[in-house]
């Protein structure tokens, strides 16, 4: 298959060999599951259960409000023991309402599940979209964007579905294992997605450092002429949606647009499998495969875990930390774009693709030095930006200049920080700037709205005042007219003469 050149990128040490050969194992049901109401991009889900309620596997725990959101279902049968504020798996450790579910170890499926869609390929695409929405499926590659919304992209008439099996982050091998072990399910899921989107071509993009996955997927794709497996070069951040689209289709998404605007919808391989579960079996998203790795861990593993499992339980399952020593850093996701975890007492959520216990040597964190303008960050930036210049603007609080220099086009892949010989945390500057710019935008919008409201009120008041004045004038005139005719008002006389 013809591939297209993508600029920039880095080649970090992948360290996938630690878990690449480890088949997916199931985690024994933990003692407690903690399900935060916001596990996805968008608005938090809304509680529909209260403390003390007994639920079965697959029962709805929290429903999605309208807009961007996703519902949450019970990963197993048990009792809702509490609903309380708990630290979320986010570096801030900000607390959010969390459902505490104590499993009863019976793992009984709910009887309220929707029926299986027997033949998805003849089903109405809208029905499939609704099913995905019901199942609470989000992008399992890490972004956790509600998948149902991407099914709505059918309106943009895409012609290619790209299945993202790049897994370009070091350490992570969960997608690799899914493709190796569940190739048929992934391809079935992808074909269901393609039907729902109305596209006729599926490209499954896999980096060449996953030969077993490429072989398995190629074998499973043989029976379906519309499916192509594309081995793509190992080049971080190849898994970035827009860059992957460019690499396999040659189509470059214009700034500020979606890949669907150039006719391509991208889904993660794990997401495809979850879609299949929802459509063919009527099962919601209640578990996911994650990679546990890092030199700070006794052994690395790929585990299928119920959502809500505490990280501490997972670490224990992997034999604890190496030599009982706490690692230098605990990271959720890959080492390039992952987030540091605030503690071990946080749950696995829908977007968690890995938990890494990293040692100081692996991280190679050094004190920051001055920029020597070596230009490495410029040559590795996959977005064609000039990171050193943007960081300079942001350091001097010139956010507008940074915006002009393109900070909003940055995908935060971290390649610049990775390569910087002076160890300048460049991507941190950009995330800060993007956050500030977004807040400013929101404030500006709020102010604009406020201004509009105030203006509208003023206009209304003015109108009212005018109306009142007119009415008063009319009344006065009427009075005057009335008074003038029968008995002229004596008080008017001097005024008129004056």
Partner 1 sequence: MTEFRHDDRSGPFTHAPNSVRTTMTTVMLALVPATLFDAALFGWPAVNLFVVTIASCLAVEAGCLKTQGKPVRATLGDGSAMLTGWLLALSLPPWAPWWIGVLGAVFAIALAKHLFGGLGQNVFNPAMVARVALLVSFPLPMTSFVPPRPLFTEHAPGFLDSLAITFGHAFQLDTMSAASALGTIKTELSRGVPVSQSMGQTPDLWHMLIGIRPGSFGETSAILILLGGLWLLHKKVITWRIPVAVMGTLLVLGTIFHGINPERFSSGLFQAISGATFLGAFFIATDYVTSPVSRSGQLVYGVGVGFFTWIIRMFAGYPEGMAFAVLLMNALTPLIDRAFRPRTFGRTRSGAPLPLPQRKSP
Range 260-319, binding partner 1 (CB under 8 A): 261-263, 312
- Residue pair 75/307 in contact (Cβ under 8 Å)? The answer is yes
Q: Quote the radius of gyration of the chain (alpha carbons, Å).
A: 29
Neighbours of 328 (CB within 10 A): 16
Angle of helix 174-181 relative to helix 183-197, nearest 10 degrees?
100
Binders of partner 1 among 132-161, rule CB under 8 A? 157, 159
Q: Is there binding between residue 421 and partner 1 (CB under 8 A)? A: yes
Nearer residue to partner 1 within complex by CB, 134 or 321: 321
Q: How far is the CB of 215 from partner 1 (least distance, A)?
A: 28
Binders of partner 1 among 72-91, rule CB under 8 A? 91
Taking CB under 8 A as the binding criterion, the range among 96-104, 139-147, 255-263, 437-445 that sits at the site for partner 1 is 255-263
Q: Name the nearest CA neighbour of 174 among 354, 357, 358.
A: 354
Taking CB under 8 A as the binding criterion, the range among 42-50, 144-152, 183-191, 341-349 that sits at the site for partner 1 is 341-349
Taking CB under 8 A as the binding criterion, the range among 10-18, 130-138, 220-228, 270-278 that sits at the site for partner 1 is 10-18
Q: Is there binding between residue 203 and partner 1 (CB under 8 A)? A: no
Q: Lay out the site mask for partner 1 across 25-64 (x = CB under 8 A, - = otherwise).
A: ----------------------------------------
Q: How far is the CB of 389 from partner 1 (least distance, A)?
A: 7
Among left, alpha and beta (phi > 0; psi -120 to 50; other), residue 269 is alpha
Angle of helix 211-221 relative to helix 174-181, nearest 10 degrees?
40
Peptide bond into 461 cis (omega under 30): no
- Residue pair 178/270 in contact (Cβ under 8 Å)? The answer is yes
Q: How far is the CB of 349 from partner 1 (least distance, A)?
A: 18
Give the HSE-up count for residue 312: Cα atoms under 13 Å, Cβ half-sphere: 9
Nearer residue to partner 1 within complex by CB, 40 or 246: 246
Angle of helix 183-197 relative to helix 125-135, nearest 10 degrees?
120
Give the pair of three-digit tokens for residue 104: 């009863």
**Looking at 54, 105, 106, 257, which residue binds partner 1 (CB under 8 A)?**
257
Q: How far is the CB of 413 from partner 1 (least distance, A)?
A: 9
- Residue pair 18/174 in contact (Cβ under 8 Å)? The answer is no
Nearer residue to partner 1 within complex by CB, 91 or 211: 91
Q: How far is the CB of 29 from partner 1 (least distance, A)?
A: 21
**Looking at 26, 51, 208, 343, which residue binds partner 1 (CB under 8 A)?**
343
Q: Name the nearest CA neighbour of 368 among 305, 304, 426.
A: 426
Q: Lay out the site mask for partner 1 across 400-419 (x = CB under 8 A, - = otherwise).
A: ------x--x----x--xxx
Nearer residue to partner 1 within complex by CB, 46 or 389: 389
Peptide bond into 237 cis (omega under 30): yes
Q: Is there binding between residue 162 and partner 1 (CB under 8 A)? A: no
**Looking at 16, 57, 210, 329, which residue binds partner 1 (CB under 8 A)?**
329
Q: Is there binding between residue 243 and partner 1 (CB under 8 A)? A: yes
Q: How far is the CB of 361 from partner 1 (least distance, A)?
A: 11
Nearer residue to partner 1 within complex by CB, 99 or 315: 315
Give the HSE-up count for residue 270: Cα atoms under 13 Å, Cβ half-sphere: 29
Q: Is there binding between residue 468 and partner 1 (CB under 8 A)? A: no
**Looking at 25, 124, 143, 200, which residue binds partner 1 (CB under 8 A)?**
200
Nearer residue to partner 1 within complex by CB, 103 or 338: 338
Nearer residue to partner 1 within complex by CB, 208 or 364: 364
Neighbours of 362 (CB within 10 A): 20
Q: Strands across the sheet with 227-232, in order?
A: 227-232, 201-207, 160-165, 264-268
Q: Is there binding between residue 194 and partner 1 (CB under 8 A)? A: no
At 234, give phi and psi (nearest 5°). Answer: -80, 105
Q: Lay out the site mask for partner 1 across 362-401 (x = CB under 8 A, - = otherwise).
A: xxxxxx-xxxxxxx--xx-xxxxxx-xx------------
Q: Is there binding between residue 193 and partner 1 (CB under 8 A)? A: no
For residue 115, the 8-state DSSP code is P
Q: Is there binding between residue 120 and partner 1 (CB under 8 A)? A: no
At 318, give phi and psi (nearest 5°). Answer: -90, 15
Nearer residue to partner 1 within complex by CB, 71 or 158: 158
Per-residue 3-state assignment (H helix, E strand, C coil) for 297-330: ECCCEEEEEECCEEHHHHHHHCCCEHHHCCCCEE
Binders of partner 1 among 422-441, rule CB under 8 A? 422-423, 425, 427-428, 431
β partners of residue 78: 55, 103
């Amino acid at each position: 298959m013809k591939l297209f050149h993508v600029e920039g990128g880095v080649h970090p040490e992948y360290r996938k060999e630690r878990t690449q050969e480890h088949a997916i194992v199931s985690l024994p049901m933990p003692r407690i599951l903690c399900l935060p109401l916001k596990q996805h991009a968008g608005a938090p889900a809304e509680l529909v259960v209260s403390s003390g309620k007994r639920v079965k596997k697959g029962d709805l725990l929290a429903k999605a409000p309208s807009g961007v959101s996703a519902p949450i279902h019970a990963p197993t049968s048990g009792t809702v023991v509490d609903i309380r504020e708990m630290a979320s798996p986010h570096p801030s450790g900000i607390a959010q309402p969390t459902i505490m579910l104590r499993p009863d170890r019976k793992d009984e499926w709910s009887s309220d599940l929707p029926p299986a869609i027997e033949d998805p390929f003849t089903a109405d695409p809208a029905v499939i979209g609704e099913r995905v929405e019901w199942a609470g499926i989000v992008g399992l590659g890490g972004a956790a964007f509600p998948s149902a919304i991407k099914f709505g992209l059918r309106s943009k008439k895409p012609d290619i579905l790209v299945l993202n099996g790049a897994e370009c982050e070091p350490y992570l091998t969960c997608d690799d294992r899914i493709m190796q072990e569940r190739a048929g399910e992934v391809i079935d899921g992808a074909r269901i997605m393609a039907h729902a989107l109305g596209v006729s071509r599926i490209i499954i993009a896999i980096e060449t450092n996953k030969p077993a996955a490429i072989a398995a997927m190629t074998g499973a794709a043989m029976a379906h002429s519309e499916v192509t497996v594309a081995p793509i070069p190992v080049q971080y951040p190849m898994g970035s949606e827009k860059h992957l689209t460019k690499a396999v289709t040659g189509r470059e998404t214009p700034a500020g647009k979606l890949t669907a605007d150039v006719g391509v919808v991208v889904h993660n391989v794990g997401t495809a499998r979850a879609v299949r579960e929802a459509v063919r079996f009527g099962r919601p998203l209640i578990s996911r495969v994650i990679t546990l790795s890092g030199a700070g861990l006794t052994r690395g593993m790929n585990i299928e875990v119920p959502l809500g499992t505490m990280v501490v339980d997972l670490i224990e399952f992997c034999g604890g930390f190496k030599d009982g020593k706490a690692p230098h850093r605990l990271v959720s996701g890959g080492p390039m774009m992952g987030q540091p975890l605030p503690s071990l007492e946080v749950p696995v959520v829908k977007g968690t693709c890995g938990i890494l216990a990293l040692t100081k040597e692996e991280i190679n964190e050094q004190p920051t030095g001055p920029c020597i303008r070596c230009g490495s960050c410029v040559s590795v930036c996959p977005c064609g930006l000039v990171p050193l210049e943007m960081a300079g603007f942001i350091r001097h609080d010139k956010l507008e200049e940074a915006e002009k220099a393109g900070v909003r086009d940055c995908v935060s892949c971290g390649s610049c920080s990775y390569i910087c010989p002076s160890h300048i945390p460049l991507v941190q500057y950009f995330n800060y700037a993007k956050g500030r710019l977004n807040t400013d935008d929101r404030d500006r919008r709020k102010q604009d709205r406020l201004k509009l409201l105030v203006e509208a009120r003023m206009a209304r008041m003015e109108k009212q005042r005018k109306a009142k004045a007119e009415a008063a004038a009319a009344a006065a005139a009427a009075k005057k007219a009335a008074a003038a005719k029968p008995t002229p008002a004596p008080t008017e006389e001097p005024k008129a003469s004056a």
